[in-house]
Chain A
Amino acid sequence: MIIQTIVFYVLAAVTVGAGMAVIGSRNPVHSVLFLILAFFSSAGLFVLMGAEFVAMILIIVYVGAVAVLFLFVVMMLDVDFASLRAGFMQYLPIGSVIGAILLAELILVFASGSVDIKKPDAVAMPTPDPAQIANTEALGNILYTHYGYLFQIAGLILLVAMIGAIVLTHRARTGVRRQNIAEQVARRPKDVVRLTDVKPGEGATWKSD
C-alpha cells in the first residue's frame, strides 16, 4: 500500500505541476509537451485506480490524437503568442488574488474535517473487482445498459459537433475542377471533336453552336 501511496502522490504532483507549466511556459510547443506529460501522469493515476481501459484510451486519444494535433497546429500556425500574453502580467495580480482566495477557501472546505464520504456503500457504481471481471468488459456492461441513455446523447453531441465543424468551416469553392465519372463516360467524340478546314492566312476560329 505504501508504494501505491507514494506513486499516487508522485503522479498527482507531476500532473498538477505539468498543468501549471502548460499555462506558464513561454514557448507554446513546450506547453503542448507539458500537456502530454499531464495526460500521461493522469493515465498513470487511472492505472493506479485499476481503470486501465480509461488510462489507455486517454493515451491513445488524447496523447496520440488530440495533443499531437495541437502540436501540429501550434507549429504550423504562425501565432504570435508573445503579443497574446502581453496583457498577462497586467491582470496577473488581481487574477492571482481571486485565484488564491478561491483556492484557500476550497482547501478550507476540504480541511475542515467535515469530509465524511460514506464510501464505498454510498457510491452508486463501485469499481468491480478486477479478478472477477476485466475492466473493459465491466465498463461495457454498464456503458450500454445503465448509461445507455448518456451514451446515446453523447453520440448526438458528437454528431452536432461534426455538423458544426462542417457548417462553420466547409466552403464549396468555386473554380475547382472535380472529376465527374458519369460525365466522362457519357462523352461522345462527335460532341467534343470538330474538324475544321483551316484556310491559309486566316487561322482557326472556334465558333460555338
Chain B
Amino acid sequence: MTAFITPNYLLALPEIMLAGLACVFLLVGVFTGNRSTVPLTFASVGAMAIALGLVLAMDGARETSFGGMFVTDTFTTFMKCLVLIGAGATLVMGLGYVKREQMSRFEFPILILFATLGMLLMISANDLMALYVGIELQSLSLYIVAAFRRDAVRSTEAGLKYFVLGALSSGLLLYGSSMVYGFTGGTGFDAIAAGIKAYGPGNLPLGVLIGLVFIAAALAFKVSAVPFHMWTPDVYEGAPTPVTAFFSAAPKIAALALLLRVLLGPFGELASSWNQIILFISIASMAFAAFAAIGQRNIKRLLAYSSIGHVGYALVGLATATPEGVRGVLIYMALYMVMTVGTFGAVLAMRQKGQMVEEIADLAGLSKTNPAIAAVLGIFMFSMAGIPPFAGFFGKLYVFMAAVNSGLYGLAIAGVLSSAVGAYYYLRIVKLMYFDEPTEAFDRPVGREVMAVLVLSGIITALFFAYPAPILSGAQAAAAALFP
C-alpha cells in the first residue's frame, strides 16, 4: 500500500469553494424559503464568478492532487472557464422565466450550482472513479432540474427519461470501467496508460478495447452523439427552457472535455482504434441531426438536433487525434457555447400574451415586430449554419482543416455536406423571421438579463473574426496539455 500524502487542496480550491458555498446557500434557502430565490440565484452566479477567477488564477502547469485523482492543467482551465461562463450566463438568463413560470424555488440555483460543481470535477477527473462520481453528481442534479416543473407532464417525463437512460449509461460506464480495471490493473488514468503500454504493441487484449467501447458509449450518451442521442430531443423539449439552455451549454462541454481527456490520456496509445468509433459517431451525428432537424416544428427540439449536429462537427476534430484537431474541437465548443446560449436567450424571449411559445412558426415576421431580437437570432442562425464571417464558420473551418490535414477527406466531405443540409433549417428560421407575415408580437419587455446575454453573445458571434486571439490561443494551449 502506498503511503498517504496529504492532498494539495489549493488545486481544488474553486471546487471546494463552490461546494462549501452551495451548502451555505442551501442553509440560507432552507431558513428563508422561496423568497430568497432571486438573491440566491445572483449569489450562485457570484460564486461561479469567484470560481472562474480562481480557475484563471492558476498558472496552468500540470499538477495532480488527491492521490492522482484530480488534475489541473491548461486544458482544465480552458474547459472550466467555458463551463462556468455557460452555466452563469444561462442561470442569469433564466431568472425571468423562473420568476414567471412558478419555478421560483430556492433549490433551483443550488442544484445548478451542484451540477456545475459536478462538471468541474468531471473536467479535472484523472481517475475512472473520480470521473464516475463527477458524472453522477452532475447527472443527478440535471435529472432533478429537468423535472423541476413537477406539475407539468412533459417536464416530469423529460426528467424520468433522462434519469432512466442516464442510469443505463452509468451502467455502461461502470461495466466498461471494470473491464479496463481488470485488464490494466488500475483506475487512475496514468495507471491505465502504463498498463496498456506494458502489454506492448500487438498484444493488447480485446477486453481493454471492449471496455473502452463501453466507456466511450457512456460518454457519447453524455454529449448526445448518435446513436446515444435519443434522449436529447425529448428532454430538451420537456425540460423548462432555462434548464434546456443550461443543458445545451455547460454539461455538453464538460462531457466533451471528459471524452477528450479519457481518449487522449489513458487511451492515447489506442488512438488508431478509437478514432474509428469517433469517426462513425461523428458522421452519424452530423448527418442524422441535419436531416432530423428539418422535420421539427418545436424550436427546442430543433435546437436539440442542432446540438447533436454540433457535437458531430466537434468530434471531427477529435477523430484526427492531433493537437490541431483538438484545438479545433475546443474552438468549436467555445463558439458553440456562445451561440447556443444566445439562441436560447432568444427562445426565452418567445412569449406571447404572457405565455411561453415554442413553435418555430411563432417566429414568423419577427423582423417586423421585434427587429433587434430578429437580427441577433439571425446572426446566430447564420453562424450555426457556418456562414462567414460569423463565428460558427471559423469553428467548422478549424475542425475541417484539421481533418483535411490528417487525410480524413471523407470525414471532411461528410461534414461539409451535412452542414449544407443543416443550413436549410437554420436559414428557414431566418426566412420565417424576415419574409413571412408577422403573427402575434412577442411580449415586451424581454427582460434585462436576457437582453444583456443576447447582445453580448451576439457581439461575440458577429465579431469573433475581428479579434479571435483569446479563444485561439487559449484553445492552443489547452490542446497542447493533452499531448505531453
Q: Are A and B in contact, CB atoms below 8 Å, in the complex? A: yes
Hey, which bits of chain A sit against chain B, CB under 8 A? 105-106, 109-110, 112, 114-119, 122-126, 128, 142, 145-150, 152-154, 156-157, 159-161, 163-164, 166-169
Kindly state the separation between the CA atoms of A161 and B107 in the bound complex, as whole angstroms: 12
- Chain A contacts of B184 at CB under 8 A? 122
Bound Cα distance A114, B2 (Å): 29
**A161 lies within 8 A of B140 (CB):** yes
Counting chain A CB atoms within 10 Å of each CB, the highest count among B26, B137, B148, B186 belongs to B137
A126 proximity list for chain B (CB < 8 A): 1
B interface, CB within 8 angstroms of A? 1-2, 4, 7, 19, 23, 26, 66-67, 69-70, 105, 107, 110-111, 114, 117, 121, 129-130, 133-134, 136-137, 140-141, 143-144, 147-148, 150, 159, 182-188, 191, 195, 198, 203, 205-207, 210
Question: In the complex, are the beta carbons of B69 and A156 less than 8 A apart?
Answer: no
Would A149 and B7 count as touching, CB distance under 8 A?
A: yes
Known: A122-B185, A149-B7, A156-B19. A115 touches B147 (CB 8 A): no
With A116-B205, A122-B195 given, name 8 new contacts (CB 8 A): A109-B206, A114-B206, A148-B7, A149-B69, A159-B114, A160-B140, A164-B143, A167-B148
Q: Across the interface, which residues of B come within 8 angstroms of A150, CB to CB? A: 69, 129-130, 133
The answer on a CB contact under 8 Å between A114 and B105 is no
**B115 (CB) vs chain A CBs: closest residue:** A160
A115 touches B1 (CB 8 A): no
Q: Is the interface of B mostly helix, strand, loop or mixed?
A: helix
Q: Least Cβ distance of A101 to chain B in Å?
A: 13
Give the residue name and chain of the A residue nearest to B129 (CB).
A150
User: Contacts A118-B198, A167-B107: A109 and B207 contacting too (C-beta < 8 A)?
Assistant: yes
CB <8 Å contact, A163 and B206: no
Enumerate 13 A-B pairs (CB-CB under 8 Å) in ascending A order.
A114-B207, A117-B182, A128-B1, A142-B1, A149-B70, A150-B133, A153-B133, A157-B133, A159-B26, A160-B111, A163-B111, A164-B111, A164-B140
| Contact A146 B206, beta carbon cutoff 8 Å | no
Per the bound structure, the CA–CA distance linking A125 and B129 in Å amounts to: 14
- Let me know if B143 and A153 touch, CB within 8 A: no
Instruction: With A124-B185, A125-B1, A149-B69 as known contacts, state yes or no: A163 contacts B107, CB within 8 Å.
Output: yes
Select from chain A the residue with minimum beta-carbon distance to B136: A157
B170, chain A: closest CB distance, angstroms: 12
Closest residue on chain A to residue B33 by CB atoms:
A172
